[in-house]
């Protein structure tokens, strides 16, 4: 596990996008000719499952252990990112699913419950699956000549660290059950989305 040498880390759980999906979304976003906001680098495209915020470095191993005990859905999670929305409160231009699959909602809820013991409480925040295209976006929804129609397929989820706009993978867990024991279900990683 390679982490930034600071007492706290900004962490989040997420599903990653494949390289071909990141490229397709980036090319589609370019067609929107955005004149507002800050486009998110395509290398950072992901679907957040749970944002933890600043976490003490000493808690990370325990967070990983708790995440490894979550029951995997047993199959990859697939969802269509087929709606373009502006979230006024968070000033974000996002892609969202018209219909979120139940296994995605269950995974997010399971992570939320597992993180309660670390003082992370999402009580007032409803999970809204999305992929952020631009931040600081305060304009109307842009006209899309071609409607969004992207499919995210994930067979694993990861814990990521955010540092100065760069995301690095801390650990990853499969969504498909394996014959390995619970303690062997996660791999420590180094790298980016």
Question: Residue 82: inside a domain, yes or no?
Answer: yes
Question: Residue 47: inside a domain, yes or no?
Answer: yes
Please confirm, yes or no, whether 46 is among the known catalytic residues: yes
139-171 as b/e, with b when 16 or more CB fall inside 10 Å? eeebeeeeebebebebebbbbbbbeeeebbbbb
Among left, alpha and beta (phi > 0; psi -120 to 50; other), residue 10 is: beta
pLDDT tens, residue order, the chain (193 aa): 444 456 678 999 999 999 999 999 999 999 998 999 999 999 999 999 999 999 999 999 999 999 999 988 899 999 999 999 999 999 999 999 999 999 999 999 999 999 999 887 766 678 999 999 999 999 999 998 899 999 999 999 999 999 888 899 999 999 987 655 443 445 555 444 5
Question: Residue 3: inside a domain, yes or no?
Answer: no
Distances (CA, A) of 116 to 53, 128, 129, 164, 167: 13, 19, 20, 27, 24
Question: Residue 135: inside a domain, yes or no?
Answer: yes
The confidence score (pLDDT) of residue 178 equals 63
Residues 29 and 137: their CA atoms lie apart, in Å, by 14
CATH number of the domain residue 160 falls in: 3.90.1140.10
Distances (CA, A) of 99 to 11, 29, 79, 103, 168: 26, 21, 8, 12, 29
Please confirm, yes or no, whether 130 is among the known catalytic residues: yes
Active-site pick, 22, 29, 46, 120? 46
Question: Residue 1: inside a domain, yes or no?
Answer: no
Residue span of the structural domain in which 25 resides: 8-188
Question: Residue 128: inside a domain, yes or no?
Answer: yes
Which pair of structure tokens corresponds to residue 43?
């290398």
Active-site pick, 115, 130, 168, 173? 130
Question: Residue 117: inside a domain, yes or no?
Answer: yes
The confidence score (pLDDT) of residue 189 equals 53
Residues 37 and 34: their CA atoms lie apart, in Å, by 8
Name residue 187's beta-bridge partners. 172
Question: Residue 2: inside a domain, yes or no?
Answer: no
Q: List the one residue out of 31, 68, 38, 10 whose CA is nearest residue 188.
A: 68
Total domains in the chain come to: 1
């Amino acid at each position: 596990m390679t982490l930034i040498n600071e007492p706290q880390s900004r962490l989040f759980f997420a599903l990653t996008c494949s390289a071909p999906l990141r490229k397709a979304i980036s090319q589609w976003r370019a067609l929107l000719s955005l004149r507002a906001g800050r486009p998110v680098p395509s290398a950072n495209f992901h679907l957040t499952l749970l944002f933890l915020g600043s976490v003490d470095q000493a808690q990370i191993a325990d967070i990983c252990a708790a995440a490894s005990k979550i029951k995997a859905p047993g199959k990859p999670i697939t969802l269509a990112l087929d709606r373009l929305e502006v979230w006024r409160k968070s000033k974000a231009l996002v892609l969202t699913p018209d219909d979120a699959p139940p296994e995605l909602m269950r995974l997010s809820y399971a992570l939320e419950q597992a993180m309660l013991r670390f003082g992370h409480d999402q009580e007032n925040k409803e999970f809204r699956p999305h992929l952020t295209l631009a931040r600081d976006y305060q304009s109307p929804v842009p006209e899309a000549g071609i409607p969004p129609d992207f499919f995210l397929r994930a067979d694993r989820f990861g814990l990521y660290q955010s540092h100065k706009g760069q995301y690095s993978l801390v650990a990853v867990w499969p969504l498909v059950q394996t014959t390995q024991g619970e303690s062997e279900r996660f791999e420590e990683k180094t790298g980016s989305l």
